[in-house]
Structure 1
């Protein structure tokens, strides 16, 4: 699993450990990985947790971490692609490096490891890949010019792998979690434009534990799409029809916020 030391990823790791899985975790923060291992050992006696501190956006580091974990644990039966960063901001103001960083971590991190692991899992003839995307992959959201494309790309990859890997016995699940109470969401608030806060603020706030359970339950049932909540389900099935109205609404919100900013 990537990004398994915090937020949804840590909740997924915990639930997989409770289900009896041996865990191989890849994340950047060595301290948080060690804390996650200790917490899981205390709650799930006998749980096996192996981890590598690495940046999945670095292809060489990601492949090396994968090789090391396979050496310790064998070829995985499940792979969860959860590593992600989000730094909202206005397109004309954000540096190009913000776009590159989010694409590297959110999309290329998943792509690299999927490309590394798919042949090995296919040789075994079984497995499941779980991609944790975002509601930002359904339609363009004001303020997510750097983040949304990375999740659109992940969505496209999962759609392709769903059909290409089926004959190899590898199933694919694509999850669209709504806003979840995690350190990542708190970090987003630091750069999120006022219009973006208003546009994204109506979907409620979910716990990481609840999202993790929904994702795993859906994957265990062989579902391709996991869409927690009414809002995500509606977007999953009708985003193309809703897109014109959503665009018009966002433009109105942005214009109103701009007027308020000028008055202030």
Structure 2
């Protein structure tokens, strides 16, 4: 028996990347899965059903998290069939453009999907959460530190970090536990799409935090949810960066980052 056995887990962004890997790991732990994505879920569902030895329930719903009304309707429809014990929210995009090269449309798209999409999902699922239930929201190491070429992405993730801290104060007394998952770069279709788009300086700064294998990152996240931890930061380098931000003055942290940018630009 696993902590997640017989629990109903809602997973957004389940068609690929971290969302799909989470669903894959939870299938073997006997969770009932309710999957959401704006992308087709047929391939993901087929792969998960092939692993479904315990005959758990796996259902799918199309969902565009930027549409608040649709999100409310789809969550309500899903909850009529299976009410959530745990929500795991993974929907997000990167924004690998320097500020000077980024259009207003690009900036707004990142904010709409990452920040407003998160808000829409939380608002839609809230009526179906009760004491003992849990919410896991994906943030990033970019929730705590800016990076070259990530002004839109960091803005959205800083906002998510602040929003989740505030919601934790409101929901914790009601018995609803919050986990914020703040990983360093992970090898996913999302990060691979940055190749050739992000500048060399941005790539150099990202390397400071290291890159995790997706399987290990998800295992760390699931362990954090099981232990009802508020913040999960997987990876040695990511935790080192987080520690130095808490110990050293921001001027020193900025100096180190500036040196990395200068070194990368000279290559």
Report the TM-score when normalising by structure 2.
0.89
Q: Distance in 1 between matches of 2:241 and 2:160?
A: 17
The structure 1 residue matched to 2:20, chosen from 10, 13, 17, is 10
Tell me if structure 2 keeps the 8 A contact 1:176–1:232: no
Q: Distance in 2 between matches of 1:79 and 1:106?
A: 16
State the partner residue of 2:67.
Answer: 58
Is structure 2 residue 164 aligned with structure 1 residue 158? yes
Q: Count the aligned residue pairs.
A: 255
Once the two structures are superposed, residues 125-156 of structure 1 have per-residue CA deviations (whole angstroms, 9 ceiling, x without a partner) of 22000011111111111110111111111111
Tell me if structure 1 keeps the 8 A contact 2:61–2:74: yes
The structure 2 residue matched to 1:148, chosen from 143, 154, 169, is 154
Q: Cα RMSD (Å) of the superposition? A: 1.7
Deviates more, 1:12-21 or 1:97-106: 12-21
Once the two structures are superposed, residues 229-253 of structure 1 have per-residue CA deviations (whole angstroms, 9 ceiling, x without a partner) of 1222233344244432232233334
State the partner residue of 2:133.
Answer: 127
Is structure 2 residue 188 aligned with structure 1 residue 182? yes
State the partner residue of 2:237.
Answer: 231
Q: Distance in 2 between matches of 1:227 and 1:145?
A: 21
Q: Which runs of 5+ in 2 are unaligned?
A: 1-10
Is structure 2 residue 29 aligned with structure 1 residue 19? yes
Cα deviation for residue 255 of structure 1 reads 4.0
Q: Secondary structure at the match of 1:79?
A: strand
Tell me if structure 2 keeps the 8 A contact 1:87–1:191: no
State the partner residue of 1:71.
Answer: 80
Q: Which runs of 5+ in 1 are unaligned?
A: none
State the partner residue of 1:194.
Answer: 200
Q: Secondary structure at the match of 1:129?
A: strand
Q: Secondary structure at the match of 1:190?
A: coil
Q: Distance in 2 between matches of 1:70 and 1:119?
A: 10
Q: Secondary structure at the match of 1:80?
A: strand
Structure-to-structure mapping, 1:207-218, within 5 angstroms:
207-218=213-224
More helix by share: 1
State the partner residue of 2:47.
Answer: 39
Tell me if structure 1 keeps the 8 A contact 2:15–2:37: yes
Q: Secondary structure at the match of 1:76?
A: coil
Cα deviation for residue 205 of structure 1 reads 2.4
Q: Distance in 1 between matches of 2:76 and 2:127?
A: 13
State the partner residue of 1:251.
Answer: 258
Q: Secondary structure at the match of 2:102?
A: coil
Q: Distance in 1 between matches of 2:58 and 2:183?
A: 25
Q: Distance in 1 between matches of 2:215 and 2:168?
A: 26
Cα deviation for residue 258 of structure 1 reads 4.7
Is structure 2 residue 110 aligned with structure 1 residue 102? yes
Once the two structures are superposed, residues 25-55 of structure 1 have per-residue CA deviations (whole angstroms, 9 ceiling, x without a partner) of 111111xx11111111111231321111221
Q: Distance in 2 between matches of 1:234 and 1:56?
A: 33
Report the TM-score when normalising by structure 1.
0.90
Is structure 2 residue 111 aligned with structure 1 residue 111? no
Tell me if structure 1 keeps the 8 A contact 2:184–2:209: yes
